[in-house]
Structures are given as structure tokens and as C-alpha cells.
Structure 1
Amino acid sequence: MSHHRQRMLLLILMLLIVGLGLPRPAEAQSVSCANPTISNVQFGTVDFTTGTLNVSGSIGWSCTSTGILGVLLSPQANVVMCLNLNTGTGGTQANPRLLGSGSNTLQYQLYANATNTQIWGSTSTPATPIPLSISVAIQAGVILSTTVTGSTPFYAQLPGGQTTAPVGTYNSALSATVSGSYTMSTGTPPSSCTSGPNSLNAGSATFVASATVQKACVVTANNVALGAVPSTAVNTTASNSLSVTCTNSAPYFVGLAPSNGNTAGAGVMKGTRGGNTDLVPYQLSSTPGPSGTPWGNTAASTTVGNGKAGRGSGLAQSLTVYATAPSANYTPDSYSDTVTVNVNY
């Protein structure tokens, strides 16, 4: 009877030894990734004269492989982590995305590559179906866990030529939802965020994109030619136009300054011939003829003075300038003067 007990004990002992020698499945290892951190996108101060702006940001991430004797069981974790980006609070469209300031918007876009060909999107958004993908290889630790950290760039573009955007601060708060998968092997990583045998824990991150539109104005002027007139001519009048382009909704005030510094728009033209000291008077005005409304240079950034007032639309606006020479009874010659156009805003 006692001999039989000894055989049973030996059999049990052998089973225990065999049990210790069996390999553990790869699932004894696990991978988790902390919520990423995404830097804000700041385009800074822009106006309608600013060309296309390109800036970049960064995504900070951290992933950990955990398991007992991981280096023996699953020596490497291959992770594909995807960040699915929403459209943001600036607008509901994804291409282009929008920055908002009240009911006004600016167009912009976020990209996963430096050449701005792959829009950073989401599998849930038909217009931009590709999330930003990050591949991580984690070498397993001998005892407990191994953590890998890194930073992945992304890119942002604000197109130029958005002339109708009014002054204001434009922004959009965005949210990126994390999805992913991983394998526990020394082979290749999963081909996508959903193709691996193991699902990555979900997470999220938020950041803000912003730009500030400031006031700006651009002016172009055309010469006013009074033409060839006899010395007996009086009240000779001619006109031409100014083109003023200012930020949408921004008020502006235009002053005209003859070279003699007269603030009432009363200038003099000088001849080109040597020895000719004659000065031909003229008057600038905003309405035609000798009784036209004088156009001078007392306008300021908040008051029209004796200038002309306007409100920008982001597009070119035309203003007509008149010049009248009361008399031509001077030495025959070609006379001219330079008038400075001052746009105050």
C-alpha cells in the first residue's frame, strides 16, 4: 500500500515539472499608451496681404509593454496608434477646416506630412478618412515593463488671399480620439489601427488652432493729367481714381497731401524748363469743378477731417480725385506736382 503511494507522488511531481516548462501565451504581455499631448497651432497675426502660412506642431506620446519575463515570451511589441481628428468647433466641414470668430470664418487645414498632401482626418469623416498613424516598437523588459516615449510632428496651413475676413480672433478647439492595435512578436507591426490581434486602449487629446486678423490697407493711385491747355484757360479740371483695399468692415480715412504740405489740398505745380520759376496753383477736391469739395490731409485714424471716409470690404474700392487749375496764364512749360495719398485706419 505504501509502495503505491510513492508512485502517485512521483507522478504528481512530474506533472508539476512539465507544467512549469510550458510556454506562456503572448497574451501574458499587454500594451497601454497614455493619452497623447498635442501642441496648439498658432498662426499668429495675419491680414489680407499675408500669403499662405505654414506652421508645424507636435504630438507627444508614451506607450508601455507590461508582463512577467516579457523578453522571453514576447520580445517585442509592435504598436500602431491612430489619432482620429474631428472637424473642430470652428465649423462642421473637414476640408478645408475652419477657424471661427462669431459668424466669420478663416479656412485652414492640418496635415500628417510635411508636403501637405495627406490631410489629418478620421475614419468617421468621409471627406478626410485617414487618421494620423504612429508606429511604435517596444522591446520587452526582463522583469516587469518597458516604456517608450516620443514626439511626432504634424503640419498646418492657412491659405493666403482670404480677403473678406473681418478683424478678429479666430479659433477652433479640436479633439483627437485614439485607436490602435498591436502584435506581440518580432515580426512586422499591424498594417492598420484595426488589423492587429490586440486592441489598444482608447484615449483622447485636445488642442486649439488660432489666428488673429488685424486691420490692413493697400492703396494704388493713378495720375491726374490736366492736359495741354492754352494760357487763357481757366478752371481746367481733370480726374482719375484711387484704389483702396482695406480689411473687411475696417473703417478708413483718406487724405491727400500736395508736396508743399498744404493740408487743405491746395498745391502748386513746378515747371521742368531751366530758369522757369513759375508755380501753377491747383486745388484737389472730391467733387468736380472749381466749387468742388476740397480734399485735404487732416484725416486721422478715427476722423475723416477734410478727407474721404470708407469702410473696407476686403476688395478694391475706387475713389475719384479731381484737380482744378484756376488759371493757365504762366510761362509755357510742362508743370507737375507729387501728391501723397495717406490712408488712415
Structure 2
Amino acid sequence: MPLKIRATARIALFLVTLSTFAGESAAQSCTASMTDFNFGTTSVRGGSTPRILGTLRVECGALLGLISLVNLCITVDAGDGGSGPSNNPRYMRRADGTQLAYQLYRGGYGGTVLNNISGVSLSLLSSTVYEETIYAEVIDSGTSVNGGYYSSNFTAGIDFRVTAGTLLSCTSRGEQDSSDFMVSADIEPSCTVSAGTLDFGTLGTNVSAAVVAQTTIDVSCSAGVPYSVQLGQGQGPGVSDPTARQMSSGSNTLSYGLYRNQTLTAPWGWTVGVNDNSGTGTGAIQSIPVYGQINSGQTVPVGVYSDSVIITVNY
């Protein structure tokens, strides 16, 4: 009989221990998600910086109330677009492999690069959710950036991982559920333009012979982008001929023309396909010469004569 009593006690102790172990192993689970970062159709012309916000969210639960505190470690790697050292910068890529630099930050744009987050503790008696705002921005800018659709995919368990634990560990409970997310942008081709001053110098009031001067227009367009450059009529009244624009000094005017070639046989005007100047972007600055001529046979009063011409780049 004493033997039966001892055997019964041992069986009861074994069952209690087994039940407690099974309860702890299933007592905690977390799921992690990150919103997609879709910059949409955007431009990086002139140094503009596309930016967007997202949310990192981890939600944990406790079964049977056996665990009240969970510690989290969160890792975000490069994504399939790749990255530089320490994921700085990260890259989105076009289908042909062309890369576009961007970054994910904590604490604000230009803040801490999002790589690893540790030391996150949730007291499941009061809160089961951890959320943080993530800041994304495109780093590359200017016309050197080729237009097109870029993306980088983050695969759950590979590029986006979350582990959980209890006490001082964030790994004792192992890897938790996470979901895929994507970073994407559709970059518009872009062009920029600048120009110098066309200076004819100091002339006599009797312009008996034509006076010629030259300057340049600097155009920078995304590689492979066709463009055309038009020069407006200027501010002179009633101008309808690119070779007879008007500089003015008060109410006095001085006739001049703008041309695409040094021999002054190709007027440069404002009509697409007729008297514009066309080219194809390279991503770098392309300097295009502008030739000007003050027409001969004019007598004008003393003064400072000037005009302002609008440059338009269509692409």
C-alpha cells in the first residue's frame, strides 16, 4: 500500500510539470507588419526629395495569463533592391537593374537608419501593441536619375524579422510572424534649364553693320529623353518674327534676332517642329549655343537696351 501511494504522488507531480511546460511554450505569440512605402508617380527634378510616412506595428498576445512581459527585437535588412554598407543607402531597382537610392529612418527624415530595434518591452497586462512611425525618402535627385518604375521587396523572415522573449532575452521565444512589404516609386523623367546673358557690348547710336554675339543655354534631361527648346518672342510689342525681336530703352527699341547656328540661317523661335532646337537627354548638362544679331541699318537714341526671353523645354 505505501508503494501505491508513492507511485500515485510521482504521477501527479509529473503531470503538473508537463502541464506547466506546455502552457509556457504556447503562452506568447506576436505578429509584425510594416506598411508599404509607395511614393507614387513623383519627380526628383531640381533636387526635390520625395518623402512618405509608414508604420511599423507589432502585436503580441498572452494565453492563460502566464506571461505578462515580452521583449522584442526587430530587424529590417536591405530588401531585394540591395544596399550599401550597413544598409546605407538602400536601393530600389528598375526591371533593367538601374538603381535608385532611398532610405528608411526612425525619429524623422535624416534620423537613425532603420536597421535593428531592440529593448522594446510590452507589458501585456496594459498594452499588447508596439507601433512606430517610419520615415522614407528618396535620396537620389536631379536629371541624372533615369525615369521609370523602381521597387524593392522585403520578404518576411528574411528581410523583415521579429524575435521575442521573456526576462532579459528577446530571443527565448524565437522568431515571430511577420509580413512582406514593398518600397516603390515611379520616377518621372525631368529636365532643367539655365542660360547666360547675351551681351552685345557698347555700340554707337548708328548701327550701320550687323553686330553678333553668342551665349549658351544649359539643358540637362534624364538619359534617353527627347526634348525641344523654344525661345519666346521677348517683351517687345507685336513680335512675330524670331529675327526681329526688340530690345527696348524706355519707349525706344532696337531690333535683333536669335539663331540656332553660327551662320545665322536658322532662326530660333517658339514653334515646335519649325524653329525650335531639339536633342536627347544624357543625364548630364548639354550646352547649346545661342547666336544673336543686332540688325543693321538702325539709328537709335543713347540708352541701355535690353529684352527678356523665356526659354521653354518640352520633353
The TM-score with structure 1 as length reference comes to 0.73
- Separation in 2, partners of 1:19, 1:151: 42
- Separation in 1, partners of 2:133, 2:248: 64
Residue 97, structure 1, aligned to residue 101, structure 2: no
Evaluate the alpha carbon distance shift between residue 132 and residue 104 of structure 1 in structure 2; reply closer, same or farther with a 3 A threshold: farther
- Separation in 1, partners of 2:208, 2:231: 25
Residue 166, structure 1, aligned to residue 162, structure 2: no
Evaluate the alpha carbon distance shift between residue 162 and residue 133 of structure 1 in structure 2; reply closer, same or farther with a 3 A threshold: farther
Given that 1:110 and 1:120 are in contact with CA atoms closer than 8 Å, whether structure 2 keeps it comes out as yes
Residue 238, structure 1, aligned to residue 238, structure 2: no
- Separation in 2, partners of 1:111, 1:271: 55
* SS, match of residue 266 in structure 1: coil
Counterpart position of 1:28:
23
Given that 1:273 and 1:333 are in contact with CA atoms closer than 8 Å, whether structure 2 keeps it comes out as no
Given that 1:167 and 1:247 are in contact with CA atoms closer than 8 Å, whether structure 2 keeps it comes out as yes
Counterpart position of 1:125:
none
Counterpart position of 2:242:
265
Counterpart position of 1:62:
59
Q: Provide the identity percentage.
A: 24
Given that 2:109 and 2:137 are in contact with CA atoms closer than 8 Å, whether structure 1 keeps it comes out as no
- Separation in 2, partners of 1:340, 1:103: 38
Counterpart position of 2:35:
39
Question: Which one of 107, 120, 126 corresponds to residue 101 of structure 2?
Answer: 107
Structure 1 residue 232: deviation in Å? 4.9
Given that 2:248 and 2:307 are in contact with CA atoms closer than 8 Å, whether structure 1 keeps it comes out as no
Match of 1:296, as an amino acid?
G
Structure with higher Rg: it is: 1
Structure 1 residue 224: deviation in Å? 1.2
* SS, match of residue 189 in structure 2: coil
In structure 2, stretches of 5+ residues that fail to align are: none
- Separation in 2, partners of 1:333, 1:132: 77
The TM-score with structure 2 as length reference comes to 0.80
In the TM superposition, 1:175-194 aligns within 5 A as 175-177=155-157, 178-183=161-166, 189-191=167-169, 193-194=170-171
* SS, match of residue 155 in structure 2: strand
* SS, match of residue 336 in structure 1: coil
Root-mean-square deviation (Å):
3.4
Counterpart position of 1:280:
254
In the TM superposition, 1:1-345 aligns within 5 A as 28-29=23-24, 30-44=26-40, 45-67=42-64, 70=65, 74=66, 76-91=67-82, 93=84, 94-101=87-94, 102-114=96-108, 116-121=110-115, 130-131=116-117, 134-139=120-125, 148-177=128-157, 178-183=161-166, 189-191=167-169, 193-194=170-171, 198-230=172-204, 231-259=206-234, 260=237, 262=239, 264-272=241-249, 276=252, 279-289=253-263, 291-299=264-272, 304-334=273-303, 335-345=305-315
Given that 1:78 and 1:190 are in contact with CA atoms closer than 8 Å, whether structure 2 keeps it comes out as no
Given that 1:47 and 1:247 are in contact with CA atoms closer than 8 Å, whether structure 2 keeps it comes out as no
Given that 2:45 and 2:192 are in contact with CA atoms closer than 8 Å, whether structure 1 keeps it comes out as no
In structure 1, stretches of 5+ residues that fail to align are: 122-129, 141-146, 184-188
Given that 2:193 and 2:313 are in contact with CA atoms closer than 8 Å, whether structure 1 keeps it comes out as yes
Match of 1:175, as an amino acid?
T
Structure 1 residue 34: deviation in Å? 4.4
Q: Deviations over 1:218-265 (max 9, x none)?
A: 222222122223425312111111122223332210011223565651
Structure 1 residue 15: deviation in Å? 5.3
Given that 2:239 and 2:246 are in contact with CA atoms closer than 8 Å, whether structure 1 keeps it comes out as no
Aligned residues: 300
* SS, match of residue 68 in structure 2: strand
